[in-house]
Structure 1
């Protein structure tokens, strides 16, 4: 809402006629205090909105960082190397030569 210069002059003349020139300084002070209070309230609302919108974003960023760290720590090749090492340590048994082995089928 924009006021032109003519509209502002008309409003000023109406205020002077309605309230008189004696009360004009008091009206200006009250109007200034009202504007300051409104600006302060708007700033408080803006701060609260930014706080509320910042919290979920920071939580999401923390979760993303946790997933990234878990992905960096996960090394499937190391797990495969460990399994291969364990299998190499166990002696290989030839089932055809060894009758002592009991498998899933009973004899």
Structure 2
């Protein structure tokens, strides 16, 4: 609600006529005190609303910080190294299938006695 200059002049004249010029400073002081109290109440309400609205945001921020801290401690190489060690241990525990006494068989390419297919 906006008051124009003429509307304020009319209100001031009505106050002077109704209450007289002697009571005008008291009325202005009381009116100023009332406006200050209203502004203070509005600020309190605004602060309370912002606190309630900020509460979920601050909870989300805390959760993000927790995730960041957990990510700092996480190292994927430790899991990979653990799995590699398990594989090494299982391979070392299995008996060897290679027989050292048996000679490897020669391939026809390595064998000099093999002449290959004969064409006639």
Q: Same fold (TM over 0.5)?
A: yes
Pair 1:43 & 2:52 matched = no
- 1:67-82 equivalences under 5 Å are 67-82=67-82
Structure 1: give runs of 5+ residues left out of the alignment.
96-107
Q: Show structure 1 runs of 4+ deviating over 6 A.
A: none
Within 5 A, what are the aligned runs for 1:21-36? 21-36=21-36
Paired with 1:94 and 1:47, the residues of 2 have a C-alpha distance of 76
Bigger mean CA offset, 70-79 vs 13-22: 70-79
* Runs (5+) with no aligned partner, structure 2: 98-120
* Alpha-carbon separation, structure 2, partners of 1:2 and 1:80: 72
TM-score, structure 1 normalization: 0.75
User: CA RMSD of the aligned region, Å?
Assistant: 2.1
Distance 2:95 2:61 in 1: 53
User: What displacement does 1:41 show?
Assistant: 0.8
Larger helix proportion, structure 1 or 2? Answer: 1
**Bigger-Rg structure (1/2):** 2
**Per-residue CA distance 1:17-66 (angstroms, 9 max, x = gap):** 11121221111111011011111111111221222222221111010111
Q: Which moved more, 1:36-45 or 1:81-90?
A: 81-90
Q: TM-score, normalised by structure 2?
A: 0.68
Q: Distance in 2 between matches of 1:68 and 1:33?
A: 50
How many residues are aligned here?
96
